Amino acid sequence: MSRRRHSDDSDAGQPHKRRRTSEPSEIEERLESLICRVGEKSNSSLESNLEGLAGVLEADLPNYKSKILRILCTVARLLPEKLTVYTTLVGLLNARNYNFGGEFVEAMIRQLKECLKVNMYNEAVHLVRFLSDLVNCHVIAAPSMVAMFENFVSVTQEEDVPQVRCDWYMFAFLSSLPWVGKELYEKKDAEMDRLLSQTESYLKRRQKIHVPMLQVWTADKPHPQEEYLDCLWSQIQKLKKDRWQERHILRPYLAFDSILCEALQHNLPPFTPPPHTEDSVYPMPRVIFRMFDYTDDPEGPVMPGSHSVERFVIEENLHCIIKSHWKERKTCAAQLLSYPGNNKIPLNYHIVEVIFAELFQLPSPPHIEVMYTTLLIELCKLQPGSLPQVLAQATEMLYMRLDTMNTTCVDRFINWFSHHLSNFQFRWSWEDWSDCLTQDLEKPKPKFVREVLEKCMRLSYHQRIIDIVPASFSVLSPANPVCIYKYGDESNRSLPGYTVALCLTIAIKNKASNDEIFSILKDVPNPNQDDDDDEGFTFNPLKIEVFVQTLLHLAAKSFSHSFSALAKFHEVFKTLAESDEGKLHVLRVVYEVWKNHPQMIAVLVDKMIRTQIVDCAAVANWIFSSELAHDFTRFYIWEILHSTIRKMNKHVLKIHKELEETKARLARQHKRRDSDDDDDDDNRSSDREDGPLEEQIERLQEKVESAQSEQKNLFLVIFQRFIMLLTEHLVRCETGGIDVFTPWYKSCIERLQQIFLQHHQIIQQYMVTLENLLFTAELDHHILAVFQQFCALQA
């Protein structure tokens, strides 16, 4: 017989209390679960499930109306891939309960206004689309929807507003038309024609300077990289030409037409778009990524054309599925593969295209890069007979088009492909790519293969890579990542500092202290000065060379060994690298020792920044120095630079956060005091209390300002160096009469673009300085164009 548990006793004691507190949230959970799950795979048809659910909800309306309203509004906002399922549900509810329909529409408008107020524009589009599909469900009267769209389109007439604001309202209108265009045109064709003609004139006059910066390929063949509004407009024009016949979207409400057309409709209240404010941040423009067309899958169902509205709807829905399930890779893969219309569209191709569209999206992918690698692996697991082939085909196509692919996108391609291969024993038909062997190593294809092999090596080991590629590819194989110690051989004993290096080696092996190291280093002459300071601690490149070479060589065994070495001799490092030249020289020596092992260079630079042996500006200057010119176009250099910028950005954010938290603590302290104090006598004691916090705030304020200044300086240094480098090249080409557009130039100018794109939010703060100081009208137009494209992104 089982022991009665304590909880059973309390249950018997207070049954009502327990049930009362758990019931409402249980019911809400149940309602949410019922609503969210409708439309999933089921034994019954979707129609009968919807009908059943409508009945359940109708019955629950008296008690749980506000909860049901909230849940329905939320699914409208967050599950746009199931748009028509939920509009049908709302339609059925409206048919049974007119007041509820009205309240739902009001709630949706309130939610839409809220979203626009807090810059949640992507979710606002889903709400607008939902409202428009409610016209099809006889919940909203068509004329009132047209009126709302008229207000949207009239935003394009506003003066002195950013183009991206007008773009959003235009997009919200156009992107709803696949769902509701037919119905609106049938009811209000004159008004719709007017709206469409206003759309056309807006699209003709809007500027598109930003487009080149966002394109994945610079070439228009085989697929043009269209600006998103242009592409959508072409799709809507074609839809109109087809008399608004749209056959892809699943419309469950059609089955309920007899019920729904009996329902009374509601009019949308007049909707005034909230005005533009300083705090408004609109979505960035996009370029539509296309890599497949109907010729790529000749066996299977035909892929809808690039200007067909079906293509738009499929892509929107697949993107929404990824957005909903990005944290759950198995669910995400399953949901993608169960997208309806499986046998009418080449779904695998659409999925692969949409995933690469996100992976290559500029400025940044919507989700962390590694997610896409793992998602594709999950998809391969679920469809082992078909998806891997599509992926291989895609890889081949991407390789073929490397010559015109944006450098940032090539980086992502390299990362994805090498990581993907590492999950499949590095099996690939490398011989298919032997065409790259005859090309100049700086050309995109051989460069890509080299970088891929280097990344593959980092995930395995050197010999493995030698083994997996054909012998002919050895010219592209990565170097064996061994350390180069200049004082290693007896034959180097004539090098200055050789004996000190030997001395140091013995001392370090015998666990010498920092002080002992200093005294050994004192004997190193300074090649820069004839009469040395007595201090001996001014910039002495030879001292740095001997110490850093020796230490790194001794600690070469692993990252951990090297990190320990940096930590143990931190004091020596700090002293030797006190000056800017010192910092630069440390970095130079690190490179000399580890140039075969870029990964080691990267982690050492990271550690040295974090332990303040070098600063971010030093790293930036080092990257642009002539010593690194040979490696300037290699991927690892830019990984290091962007990692450095990110560390700087995180540092600023961290101190800022500390400042805000301390301010909040002070505010709370005030509040506590105000509520405790009835008599306001002792002002001095409250000042005393505030003292330490106020001091802290002042210190932190200074820290923030200093960090922000360092951050701005870092960007200015980087931009300055780019301008110098590019100008030099342009002048040389002009005077020599040679073509500007070398592989190096393409890489360099796109790396400049990458700085703007990857850190655009921070850089926006410096626009005035950049315009007045660096990107002035005297600059060569090639370089100025990059700046102008960047400005156009949020204009």
Partner 1 sequence: CPPRGPGRAAMCSGGTLSILRSDSYADLSQYRDQHFRGTRYDQERLLRKSCTLYVGNLSFYTTEEQIHELFGKSGDIKKVIMGLDKVKKTACGFCFVEYYARGDAENAMRYINGTRLDDRIIRTDWDAGFKEGRQYGRGRSGGQVRDEYRQDYDAGRGGYGKTVQCQ
Residues binding partner 1 (CB under 8 A): 25, 29, 32-33, 36-37, 70-71, 73-75, 77-79, 110-111, 114-115, 118, 120, 123, 324-325, 327-329, 331, 368-371, 373-374, 377, 415, 419, 422-423, 425, 455, 458-461, 558-560, 599-600, 603, 606, 643, 646-647
Give Cα separations from 732 to 630, 679, 740, 784 (angstroms). Answer: 18, 79, 9, 18
Shortest Cβ distance from residue 750 to partner 1 (Å)?
A: 23
**Which structure tokens are listed for 572?**
């020596």
d(CA 764, CA 756): 9
Shortest Cβ distance from residue 20 to partner 1 (Å)?
A: 14
**Which structure tokens are listed for 487?**
């004082």
Q: Which is nearer to partner 1, 364 or 788 (CB)?
A: 364
Q: Which is nearer to partner 1, 461 or 741 (CB)?
A: 461
Shortest Cβ distance from residue 210 to partner 1 (Å)?
A: 27
Shortest Cβ distance from residue 418 to partner 1 (Å)?
A: 10
3-state secondary structure of 49: helix
Q: Which is nearer to partner 1, 111 or 758 (CB)?
A: 111
Shortest Cβ distance from residue 779 to partner 1 (Å)?
A: 35
Q: Which residue from 717, 715, 725 is spatially nearest to 766, judged by alpha carbons? A: 715
Q: Which is nearer to partner 1, 69 or 345 (CB)?
A: 69
Q: Which is nearer to partner 1, 222 or 273 (CB)?
A: 273
* Residue 596: φ, ψ to 5°: -80, -10
Q: Which residue from 162, 283, 155 is spatially nearest to 229, judged by alpha carbons? A: 283
Q: Which is nearer to partner 1, 235 or 317 (CB)?
A: 317
Q: Which is nearer to partner 1, 239 or 380 (CB)?
A: 380
Q: Which is nearer to partner 1, 33 or 472 (CB)?
A: 33
d(CA 758, CA 456): 25
Q: Which is nearer to partner 1, 374 or 742 (CB)?
A: 374
Shortest Cβ distance from residue 425 to partner 1 (Å)?
A: 6
Q: Which is nearer to partner 1, 526 or 643 (CB)?
A: 643
Q: Which is nearer to partner 1, 559 or 741 (CB)?
A: 559
Shortest Cβ distance from residue 355 to partner 1 (Å)?
A: 14
Shortest Cβ distance from residue 616 to partner 1 (Å)?
A: 15
Shortest Cβ distance from residue 708 to partner 1 (Å)?
A: 21
Q: Which is nearer to partner 1, 349 or 417 (CB)?
A: 417
| DSSP, residue by residue, 373-404 | HHHHHHHHHH-TTTHHHHHHHHHHHHHHTGGG
Q: Which residue from 491, 508, 484 is spatially nearest to 592, judged by alpha carbons? A: 484
Shortest Cβ distance from residue 128 to partner 1 (Å)?
A: 14
156 CB burial (10 A radius; 0-12, 13-18, 19+): buried
Give Cα separations from 320 to 123, 197, 199, 305, 439 (angstroms). Answer: 11, 30, 26, 21, 41
Shortest Cβ distance from residue 135 to partner 1 (Å)?
A: 22
List of residues 6+ apart from 479 with CB closer than 8 A: 596
Give Cα separations from 671 to 660, 666, 687 (angstroms). Answer: 16, 9, 14
Shortest Cβ distance from residue 424 to partner 1 (Å)?
A: 8
> Using alpha carbons only, what angle is made at residue 541 by residues 535 and 543, rounded to the nearest 5 degrees?
60
d(CA 264, CA 376): 47
Count of beta carbons in the 10 Å neighbourhood of residue 197: 10
Q: Which residue from 374, 462, 450, 442 is spatially nearest to 414, judged by alpha carbons? A: 450
Q: Which is nearer to partner 1, 74 or 575 (CB)?
A: 74
Q: Which residue from 288, 289, 292, 470 is spatially nearest to 393, judged by alpha carbons? A: 292
Give Cα separations from 731 to 284, 670, 681 (angstroms). Answer: 34, 63, 74
Is 318 in contact with 247 (CB distance < 8 Å)? no
Count of beta carbons in the 10 Å neighbourhood of residue 319: 17
Shortest Cβ distance from residue 374 to partner 1 (Å)?
A: 4
d(CA 554, CA 144): 77
> Using alpha carbons only, what angle is made at residue 655 by residues 650 and 658, rounded to the nearest 5 degrees?
125
> Using alpha carbons only, what angle is made at residue 694 by residues 689 and 699, rounded to the nearest 5 degrees?
145
| DSSP, residue by residue, 113-127 | HHHHHTT-HHHHHHH
Q: Which is nearer to partner 1, 460 or 686 (CB)?
A: 460
Count of beta carbons in the 10 Å neighbourhood of residue 56: 12
Shortest Cβ distance from residue 111 to partner 1 (Å)?
A: 6
d(CA 670, CA 59): 51
List of residues 6+ apart from 200 with CB closer than 8 A: 233
Shortest Cβ distance from residue 395 to partner 1 (Å)?
A: 18
Q: Where are the alpha helices (DSSP H) in 38-156?
A: 46-78, 83-96, 98-117, 121-136, 142-153
Helices 444-459 and 407-422, axial angle in degrees (round to 10): 40
Shortest Cβ distance from residue 778 to partner 1 (Å)?
A: 40
Q: Which is nearer to partner 1, 472 or 564 (CB)?
A: 564
Q: Which is nearer to partner 1, 67 or 276 (CB)?
A: 67
Count of beta carbons in the 10 Å neighbourhood of residue 226: 21
